[in-house]
C-alpha cells in the first residue's frame, strides 16, 4: 500500500534526526521509501516561541496496516528521544501518517487522512514536491492548496 508521511524536527541535530528517521523507516522489511522531498524550514505552528522546524515528506510503499505503520513511526520517535509533553511543542522528531492508500480511518489512535494537513503549509509544501497531483480530502490537488505559514527550502539548488 502507498502511504505519505510528514517528518519534522526542531530540537537537537535536526538534519541527523530526519535522516536517521528515514534510515530507520527504510530498514524496516515492510517499508520502502519511494520518494523523499527536500528539507523545508518552517516557523512553529500552534505553539510559538520555539526553534524553527525542519520538515520533509515521504512517499512509501508498505505491507503494514495503518496501525502497524503508526506503531513503527512511534517506536522510531521514541528511540530518537521524542517526549510528548506539550501539544505542538518542541520535539526531536515527529512522524505523522498523512494518508494510507487513500483510505479513511478513524479511531482513538489514528485519523486518516490527517485531519489538519490542508491547513499546514509545512506539510503541504514538501508533499507538493513529491506528489503534486495527490488529491486532498477537500477534493483539490495538493498543488492547488496553500496552508498557513511560511516555508523555505533548506539549501535550495542542492
Determine whether 91 is an active site residue: yes
Strand partners, 151: 42
Cell 477534493 -> residue:
139
For residue 18, give the 3-state DSSP assignment. helix
Cell 480530502 -> residue:
137
Instruction: Please state, in angstroms and rounded to a whole number, the distance separating the CA atoms of residues 100 and 113.
Output: 7
Active-site residue, from 71, 84, 94, 107: 94
- Helix, strand, coil % (nearest 5) of the chain? 30, 30, 45
Active-site residue, from 13, 27, 84, 91: 91
Determine whether 96 is an active site residue: yes
Determine whether 116 is an active site residue: no
**Pairing outcome for strands 31-36 and 111-112:** unpaired
Determine whether 13 is an active site residue: no
CA–CA–CA angle 4, 7, 100 (5° rounding): 20
Active-site residue, from 13, 32, 71, 82: 82
Active-site residue, from 13, 52, 84, 96: 96
Q: What residues are annotated to the active site?
A: 82, 91, 94, 96
Amino acid at each position: 500500500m502507498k502511504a505519505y508521511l510528514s517528518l519534522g524536527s526542531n530540537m537537537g541535530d535536526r538534519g541527523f534526526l530526519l535522516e536517521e528517521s528515514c534510515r530507520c523507516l527504510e530498514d524496516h522489511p515492510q517499508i520502502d521509501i519511494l520518494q523523499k522531498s527536500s528539507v523545508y524550514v518552517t516557523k512553529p505552528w500552534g505553539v510559538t516561541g520555539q526553534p524553527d522546524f525542519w520538515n520533509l515528506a515521504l512517499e512509501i510503499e508498505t505491507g503494514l496496516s495503518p496501525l502497524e505503520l503508526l506503531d513503527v513511526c512511534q517506536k522510531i520517535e521514541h528511540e530518537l528521544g521524542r517526549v510528548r509533553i506539550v501539544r505542538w511543542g518542541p520535539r526531536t522528531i515527529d512522524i505523522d501518517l498523512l494518508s494510507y492508500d487513500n483510505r479513511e480511518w478513524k479511531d482513538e489512535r489514528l485519523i486518516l487522512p490527517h485531519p489538519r494537513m490542508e491547513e499546514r503549509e509545512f506539510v503541504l509544501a514538501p508533499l507538493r514536491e513529491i506528489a503534486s497531483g495527490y488529491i486532498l480530502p477537500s477534493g483539490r490537488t495538493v498543488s492547488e492548496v496553500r496552508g498557513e505559514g511560511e516555508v523555505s527550502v533548506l539549501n535550495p539548488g542542492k
